[in-house]
């Protein structure tokens, strides 16, 4: 190992991992707060339809925007590698490409809003009143699509540079503006459901503007507006390959969770409700472990760009230690407070009883999924996205086989067991590919 490489490894410390991860954990914690405020504000109108309309509209747009989540993950890997290679010009050019993709995608969604919303409302039919209000909500919010998608890419670009404090500030700004305007437009001006949509529209546009300000250093030079560099064919092809792999992987992951929800819906109302309650434990797990996966994306990406196998190995190991430790703490917390949390979220005794019966699966989830979470981050940072895509496809097949084999005999216990199998399969399959990832570096 050279002296420069040794210095790079020495700078990889637990404190550095924590500085990257903790702002992300705090940022994730703000996400459910906004949803609760949106629901609470329209709930003050005294009718059920506005609550259902805001919920339906938000789910539709969140699902559509989720398809562009690859922009965040792909940008972290590519930008962190450029940073590790000390290619500042490429770092700036990546930001320009991301913004161009976001703008084009957002404008396409605006142009295609009619068929998109028609299809979505056909898939999720509601009463005429709820559908009408949902349409009014969607008609307003869709105009911030370019800004909302741009925030994905800007977030990834900032994470690549370990600027997760800026990501937290951006999230707090957007949610804060949204909550304030919710109160003004709905309770103050009496705009109802359209008021919630206008509040989110302004918050997303202002969030994109703030994000650009946070990235202002990239605009100081010429690289971000150099068409030869920005539209370099090799770079564009690589970005397209990385992002398409991540998109396929994400669709397969979403299919696993959707099949879990749909299969659970046939096991009775109490079981379905219990599963919904217990899924909140998984969301908490994801919010906590995502921070360390993001740290792995950044540190592994920089090590890959620097062609330093030693830095990659140390960064991956440090993030893995934090992930496993946090997973253990979550399991302990769920064991001690799981029953209380169930009773807080559900008042129906049948739902409470069912949720308690399946609680042991949730206690297992953080440790069963720890390897999958951290290895996702490592592979994204190394942009080994074809491996991610292929191993997710294999894990989905394993999950489907477990679903077929276990649910008919064990019911909801079999359903939860199949989900845990999918977590373990993701971890094992990616672990098998990890040596090849290391060999490709340095």
Cα torsion through 158, 164, 168, 174, rounded to 10: 10
Q: What is the pLDDT of residues 39-86, one digit of tens each?
A: 778 878 777 788 888 888 888 888 888 889 899 999 999 999 999 999
| Backbone conformation region of residue 192, classed left if phi is above 0, alpha if psi is from -120 to 50, else beta | left
Burial of 409 (0-12, 13-18, 19+ CB in 10 A): exposed
Per-residue pLDDT of 78-104, as tens digits, reads 999 999 999 999 999 999 999 999 999
pLDDT tens digits for range 287-333:
899 999 999 999 999 999 999 999 999 999 999 999 999 999 999 99
Question: So what's the pLDDT on residue 1?
Answer: 41
Query: What number of CA atoms fall less than 13 Å from residue 311's CA on the CB side?
Result: 29
pLDDT in tens, 95-131: 999 999 999 999 999 999 999 999 888 876 677 888 8
By the 10 Å C-beta count (0-12 exposed, 13-18 middle, 19+ buried), 122 is classed as exposed
Instruction: Say how far residue 182 (Cα) sits from the centre of its chain.
Output: 24
How far apart are alpha carbons 74 and 243 in whole angstroms? Answer: 6
As to burial, measured by CB atoms within 10 angstroms (0-12 exposed, 13-18 middle, 19+ buried), residue 398 is middle
Rounded Cα gap, residues 403 and 35, in angstroms: 32
Mean pLDDT, the chain, whole residue set: 91
- pLDDT by residue (tens digit) across 235-293? 999 999 999 999 999 999 988 988 888 888 788 888 888 888 888 899 889 989 999 99
Q: Is the pTM of this model over 0.85?
A: yes
As a whole number of angstroms, the distance between CA 214 and CA 170 comes to 9
CA nearest 207: which of 153, 248, 254?
153
Confidence (pLDDT) at 380: 97
Per-residue burial over 42-75, b if 16 or more Cβ lie within 10 Å, else e, is beeeeeebbbbbbbbbbebbeebbeebbbbbbbb
């Amino acid at each position: 190992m050279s002296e420069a490489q040794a210095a790079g490894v020495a700078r990889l410390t637990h404190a550095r991992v924590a500085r990257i991860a903790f702002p992300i954990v705090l940022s994730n914690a703000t996400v459910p707060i906004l949803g609760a405020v949106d629901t609470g504000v329209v709930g003050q109108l005294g009718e059920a339809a506005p609550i259902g309309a805001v919920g339906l509209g938000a789910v539709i747009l969140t699902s559509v925007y989720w398809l562009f989540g690859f922009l965040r993950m792909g940008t972290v890997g590519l930008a962190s590698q450029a940073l590790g290679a000390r290619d500042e010009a490429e770092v700036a050019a990546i930001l320009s490409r991301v913004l161009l993709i976001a703008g084009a995608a957002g404008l396409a969604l605006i142009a295609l809003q009619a068929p998109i919303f028609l299809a979505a409302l056909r898939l999720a039919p509601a009463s005429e009143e709820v559908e009408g209000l949902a349409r009014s909500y969607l008609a307003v919010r869709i105009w911030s699509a370019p800004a909302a998608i741009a925030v994905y890419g800007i977030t990834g670009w900032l994470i690549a540079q370990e600027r997760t404090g800026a990501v937290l500030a951006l999230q707090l700004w957007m949610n804060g503006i949204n909550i304030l305007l919710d109160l003004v437009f709905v309770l103050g001006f009496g705009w109802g459901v359209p008021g919630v949509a206008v509040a989110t529209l302004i918050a997303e546009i202002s969030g994109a503007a703030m994000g650009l300000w946070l990235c202002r250093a990239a605009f100081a030079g010429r690289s971000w507006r150099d068409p030869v560099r920005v539209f370099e064919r090799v770079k564009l092809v690589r970005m397209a390959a990385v992002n398409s792999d991540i998109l396929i992987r994400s669709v397969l992951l979403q299919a696993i969770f959707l099949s879990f929800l749909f299969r659970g819906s046939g096991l009775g109302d109490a079981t379905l409700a219990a599963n919904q309650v217990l899924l909140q434990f998984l969301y908490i797990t994801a919010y906590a472990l995502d921070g360390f996966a993001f740290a792995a994306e950044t540190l592994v990406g920089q090590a890959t760009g620097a062609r330093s196998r030693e830095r990659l190995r140390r960064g991956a190991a440090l993030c893995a230690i934090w992930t496993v430790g946090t997973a253990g703490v979550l399991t302990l917390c769920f064991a001690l407070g799981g029953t209380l949390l169930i009773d807080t979220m559900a008042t129906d005794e049948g739902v409470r009883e069912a949720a308690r019966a399946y609680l042991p699966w949730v206690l297992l989830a953080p440790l069963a999924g720890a390897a999958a979470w951290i290895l996702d981050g490592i592979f994204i940072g190394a942009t080994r996205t074809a491996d991610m895509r292929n191993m997710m496809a294999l894990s989905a097949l394993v999950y489907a086989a477990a679903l077929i084999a276990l649910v008919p005999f064990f019911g909801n216990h079999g359903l939860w067991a199949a989900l845990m199998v999918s977590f373990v399969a993701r971890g094992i399959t990616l672990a098998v590919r990890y040596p090849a990832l290391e060999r490709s570096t340095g």
